Amino acid sequence: MLLKAMSADWLKLRRTWIGWLVLLGPIGVIGLQSVNYGLRYDYLLKKYADDPWGNLIINVQFLAAPALLLGITLIASIISGIEHREQSWKQVLALPISRSTVFASKFTIIQLLLFVACTLLSGGTLLLGGVLGLGMDIPWGMLLLKCYFPWLAAMPIIALQSWLSITNRNQALPISIGILVSIFSMYAARMPDWMPLKWPLLVNGAHSPIYSVISGLCTGLVIYMLSLLHFARKDVD
């Protein structure tokens, strides 16, 4: 039943620009780092001669974190906004599928699109490193960690934005919150370790990225379950 619901949601998304959004996010991040390295190429390669790939990956992640949070907001809003715009929630909820399946379908599609974006980001990072001539000594573990772990650590934000976008007909509220979250995330490294905004940066006192991932997954699961219960009882226009 979930696959059928996802198939129906995906057909609706084909009429939107969500595919371009998933593509342009990683391209924008890699493009900005291309400009950064283009302007300071000799300086950066000399300063980080011992680990040029590591420096590139860290620089990419620095820009990718706020871009990820903004992307979560826009993707969730587009997916849920279709039902609000066409005023079709009553028809959707009248179908012989449970509300939990409807909610899970949209949430799962958001996750799949974010996974694609993270994959494109990792591929773009490899391409940029090749163009910059950083060699073949690629730290694969670090690359995959920095590209995919922020997505997993951002699970509370994904669950929250999914809930806000689905339950609010006016998308100005979730989008405004998402923009603020994205802006504040650029200063999140100074926040306490228990702040969810800090987790996608993979920075904590334990110096262990897995701490941020576990915190994000556990908190995200709690928010998801609470959102699911709320959606199951709420009247959606």
* 3 state SS for 164-230: HHHHCCCCHHHHHHHHHHHHHHCCHHHCCCCCHHHHHHCCCCCCCHHHHHHHHHHHHHHHHHHHHHH
Q: What is the spatial distance between Cα 237 and Cα 234, in angstroms, rounded to a whole number? A: 10
Instruction: Give the model's pLDDT for residue 224.
Output: 95
Q: Token digits for 232?
A: 């199951």
Contact partners, residue 210, CB within 8 Å, separation at least 6: none
Q: Token digits for 61?
A: 């992640």
Instruction: Give the model's pLDDT for residue 148.
Output: 95
pTM: 0.92
Reported as a pLDDT band with limits 50, 70 and 90, residue 231 is confident
Is 99 or 73 the better-scoring residue by pLDDT?
73
Instruction: Give the model's pLDDT for residue 189.
Output: 85
Cβ-contact 127, 188 below 8 angstroms: no
Q: What is the spatial distance between Cα 92 and Cα 81, in angstroms, rounded to a whole number? A: 13
Q: Token digits for 96?
A: 């012989």
**What is the pLDDT averaged over residues 66-91?**
85
**What is the pLDDT averaged over residues 125-146?**
91
**What is the pLDDT averaged over residues 56-73?**
92
Instruction: Give the model's pLDDT for residue 171.
Output: 85
- Alpha carbon 147 to its chain centroid, in Å, reads 10
Report whether pLDDT(14) > 70.
yes
Q: What is the spatial distance between Cα 151 and Cα 202, in angstroms, rounded to a whole number? A: 10
